[in-house]
Structure 1
Amino acid sequence: MRNEFWQRSRQSLTLRIVVFFTALLALVLSAAFALVSAANLRISRDTVAHELDTGEKVFRRLLEQNASKLTQGAGVLASDFGLREAIGTGDTATLLSALRNHGNRIGAQIAMVSGLDNRLLADTLHPDRSGQAYPFAPLLAEAGQRGSASGIEVIDGRLYQILVVPVRAPITLAWITMGFEVDDPTAADLQALAGLQVSFLVQQRPGWQIYASTLGPAQRAALQTQLSALRAAGQLTLAQEVYATRRIQLGHSVKGPVYALLARSLDEAMAPFYALQGTLIILAGFALLVCLLVGIRLARRITGPLRALALVAQRIRAGDYRQDIAIHDGSEIGQLAGSLAHMQQAIAEREAEISKLAFQDSLTGLPNRLRFNQRLDEAILRAEQAQGQLSVLLIDLDRFQQINDTLGHPYGDRVLAEVGRRLAACARAEDTVARLSGDEFALLLPGMSTSAVLQNIGRIKRVFDQRFDLDGRPLDVRASIGVVGYPEHGDNAIELMRCADMAMYRAKRSGSGHALYDTGMRTFREEHLSLLGDLQQAVDNNELILYYQPKVAINGAGGDEAEALVRWIHPRKGFIPPGEFIPFAEQTGYIKELTRWVLARAIKQAGQWLREGRPVKVSVNLSTRDLLDPGLPATVASLIDLANLPPDYLCLEITESGFMDEPAKALDVLHKLRTLGLSLAIDDYGTGYSSLAYIRRLPITELKIDRAFVLELAHSQGDAQIVRSTIELGHRLGLKVVAEGVEDQPVVAVLAEMGCDRIQGYVFGKPMPAEAFDQWRNARLQLQ
């Protein structure tokens, strides 16, 4: 979609006109900006270099002025008669007084007098150093050759600009040394005159040392770390600020070479350039904006009518046929607009008719199956993107065929139309109500979970509470509702509708009115499509076989017992495991016929064993559907009477989950069966959902502990505790306890110690035909 948009944009005449002129102006402005920026940048850098040149000259001139000032002060001092006399007499106190007076007069911080033997006669900094060697012998030697000498020296950790001149009378009697301290105030004075940052450095061992500077603390610290890489000229970054620098050597002290570092902040120097550059950018942006606005206006005036018609054509292609084409001039464009308007109207009329036929049910006016599936796909996509939920209700009218057969199809159509109207009236604005086919309706509930649907299912059921009036004939109409939800039951429309159909038929078979899809309603394999017919034939032709597995009493007391288990040897497919055809029979509803066959054969066999004088109590499994069959007790009563079998020789086993779907109906059937005198057992106890309080209400006589708790009983402390507590619970409730799935003697010993009543499992015998079961009993009697 994005690529298509850009393709259309590139083909737009308006866009091409605007882009062309805007790009042309942008190109010109960019070139001008680049040229001006380059020129300004060059000028700014030249200006910085010129400032450094000028600053260097001013700086040297200032140093020369300081040296001249020292020369004058030292010359006046050297010509002083009292000074010469004090030198001649060696009067140190007079010398110090004269030096301090003249030093204070010219602002000198240091003054010394040394003799011709290069020893100090007086020193204002250290009066006690009289007679010691003069510290700056090289400078004194230079003064002896040239008559005077100047330089910069480090004294007591401070930097001084000093001058050496002779004292003559008329021959040289001594040497006078005077100097100014070069400190931060001195550097600040130089900065004020030169306009540059000034730092005084000495390259000494083991490294560089800064003696005075106008830089701030952070910049001075940054400079100290970069002194080893310092060049005569270049750039330094000090505390995130860039400086253009120039290094000037001032002299060579006893500590090492002395330099002055002049620095000019490039950020400050370039600030006018950046301001100008920003102004140019603003002017360029304003020019582009003006050009863009003017270009758009001109392009629209040129291409406006064509663009409007192109937009109309695009919307027609997208299915929008309600546009007003407001171009009424007499040009060719006006004629094209008129033709396009007529075409739009004609297409709208034809598509409305086609859409009505394709997506709407003609009887109820509701969306049909095709339209419902489209909306379901769209709702699933939205729910997937938003990580939300939705529910689907499949509604099928009960006994609707009787209405058609009794009253005729016109009355049936009226019922369908009224059902559609009522469903639409109780739906939300965002819901979709559709008639799929015949008497089948569907509701799409976006954003609603299945739990919320089940809480509000009464609102849908009330649609059918009010009788339908057909020309004075009141008619009760009921429906079965299947409920599914996204994403727990499926992630596409086909899967959801398939699950909803299964749930609806479950509700119809159970008579509960509604049912939520259960994941246990699994999809059958293709081979199962023919399996139902084969199973029916097997039941009708007695092709099934009953196997019997012993249930052995641990203490040897009590009669023989066995569980009847059905087996199927298919004539073509061979042995079919019960796990395949029994769940299939349950889901297709054929389990009732299969249960009748098993009951009839098991009861008949039990009666035969009783007549032979070797009675066996036989257990038969019942399914969930069997417990919901109110006619089951009568069927069982008829079969035991026919076989002349006392009821206490028959036990019916049910699973915990078997009475949870419709507990009231199942409990009623169980009470009727128990009234017959049969035994009732809960199979696979511990793996279902029943509570102890619920089990207490059931008319059962036996608990069968599931094999999951028995297999590792001899080695698992946890399983042992569960089994022991179950046996104690069963005995306290007056129930017999059977452990199934026992496969070894250590488990038998543990169960015997726990007081379990009977054991069923491979440790005593696998399921076997009746003849083999008799042989097993005979063999067991011989061993006893």
Structure 2
Amino acid sequence: MTLRLPAFLNLRRLEGRMVVPFLALLAVVQVSSWTITDASIRANTEQTVRAELQTSQRVLEHLLTQQVEQRAAMLRDFEHSYAIRQLLANADRLSKTDLELSLSHELESKNQRLLKSGLIAYTDSQFKLVAATAPEAPDFAARLPALVLSMAKQDGASTPWQSHLLLRQGRAYLIVAVQVKAVEPGGWLLMADELGAGPLQELRMLSQVKSSFMLRLHPDEAWHTQGSVLNKVQTDALDQQNLHEAGAIKFKLGADDMRGMLRPLVRDGEQELAVLLLRNFDLAFETFDRLRLTLAALTLLGLLTFALASLLMARRISTPIRSLANTADRLGHGDYDTPVQALSGAAEVSDLARSLESMRQGIRQRDAALNELAFKDALTGLTNRAGFSRLATRLLARPGGHCAVLVLGLDRFKHVNDVQGHEFGDLLLRKVAERLGPLLQGDDDVLARLNGDEFALLLNLGDEAAALGLADAIRRNFERPMQLGEQTVDLSAGIGISLAPQHGYEGKLLLTRAGLAMMEAKKRQSGSLIYTPGMDVASQESLSLLGELRHAVEAGELRLYLQPKVDLGRSQVLGAEALVRWQHPVRGLVPPMHFIPFAEQTGFIRTLTTWVIAASIRAWAMAQAQGLPMRISVNLSTRDLLDQDLPDKIMRLLQAHGATSQALCLEITESAIMDDPQRAMGTLAQLSELGFKLSIDDFGTGYSSLAYLKILPVNELKIDKSFVMNMEHDLGDAKIVRSTVELAHNLGLTVVAEGVESAKAWNILAALGCDEGQGFFIARPMPEAHFFNWAKGWQAPDLNGDSTATVLEQLKTDPLI
């Protein structure tokens, strides 16, 4: 049993085509709006969390400063205690041992009763330790001169809290010192406490930020927790994050999505102390949940309302349309007697009913007109292909009939259409027809327009001599330029000739063989040619090659080869140029020169380009996975550049492999740009906006205008190897290379040199400022599987063997003006 969809959901019905697409469009718009808003809310939350973390950092710094000031105040109170003053005042009357024991006892007593510090020590004015409450006091006393120096630089102001932090044996301490001024001979009181989670607890009470002190013993090691407000499970999970670098971080802490900021506090040798500030992103994002739910509800309500309104509107339109469709069916079956019923409702529907009635009344007249037009060309009024074949067949059916068929194809007509427009092209075709007509002498001779820029001439009783004579007359006639308004057009054409009965007895066959001869005449630029059987073979071989190429793509016979590109100054591999090879099952490895020109001619080059781009993106992804950051260069042909859908095709391939436009450099030849500058520049502008690096290949061998180069959105010029390979011996080529490098750099472009065949060429290019190079001296093209191993093990060659002094000195004596 077949399930039938309702009319408003069936895309084959008018109601469905009205409701479903617009409903889908609204759904896309609504969902996109909700998605963008949700993303904006998330971005604002991220920004708010970052601001909270930065504020918490400043609060923590203030808390640390408060701790320093509190400890300093406690020491100052201790300094003024009676016992300390008495001991120091009588220091010269006591032995060193008695003084040390008495001070140690007093320091320990005060510490236990009041200060509760980890360590209190007293040093003389020369920072020599006298007494202390802990055996590790010498390590802290050694820090005292640096602390006093930092205090002195503040000119009485509070010392920065960083100066009071000390890292010792993988632990962090807060040390404070005050100078004893109450009695002579003075000295210093020192207090040291291990840095605990006290400031972090205070910070947690003031904000929703959790924090931990992080310590690492060496820059290459990961951070580990020193003190934290997190519980043990969270602390263990934090230590497993393997944090290395300071800055903003994102990670999962259990089930919580956390945002953090790791900020260094102090560095002592290779040890470093930092604070990690953490904010639960999920909790921050929850405040916006009501807004997100409201947006989702509005989106759903809008979709339902629009669906109902669209359905009602579609029903009102489809009912009269269905009635008119039934009327059209009757007309299609030949019922021209039943009048078309007038319909009330929308003006467009009533107009359609009246139009159907007019069609019913005039259909017989139109049938007669169509029969006549079936054999006439509407543009020129000449016989068309069908009429020409019919006339030729009738002529050949006469006893002893023979004739000659000439097929003429204009040269560069497509270029005229593209540059001057189709109206100008139509006018040109009419003028060509007017010129060809008088060249026919016989009453039964026929002139026809086959299609596009092709014309056919039929010579009754014509032989080879008559056909060649007519072809020569056409050539001489076309030597006179044609004036169309203010434009002068130079005409030329290729002419193919077939003869009956030598080459066939049917009009269609003669046309086909004359057409083959015409194509061969165009290819050889010979003006006119008479058909030979070998032309059929060439045509069949072309069709065979095209079929084999299609099979090669489908059967995976194409191979991607890569030729490395290196930075000439830093001797680093930057990327590679993608090249295609054909691994034919019978012919072996077919080089590109044997099939690329044919692909260009037939238009199959677009399929090959798509294959190369996809293979290059896969190679780029493999390079990334192996830690080889690079860019793959891909050549685009003229047909590729004139394809307005090219940017979208490339972006779809990139997205399919998770790559960006930075993965590719697109190389375009000068001739590809100059064939149709306007369309080419439009495509280049789209590619540039998408972020692709664009390069002009074989620069210097074409005929491009510098005015175009100035406005083209390209990033790179590629000097043709014909200049690079000869510049060691030809000063003129060296000057061209130098001028090209200067021109490119003045335009803000980088320069790549092809054909680097020796160390001397490398050195000359590097001295001239050329950025990159490629050539056999660096490496030949290689299969992609070999390329990655080569790139990993490649080392710059020895460049000291060949001297470049002669060439460079000659260039210096002939500077650029």
Q: TM-score, normalised by structure 2?
A: 0.38
Q: TM-score, normalised by structure 1?
A: 0.40
Q: Which has the larger radius of gyration?
A: 1
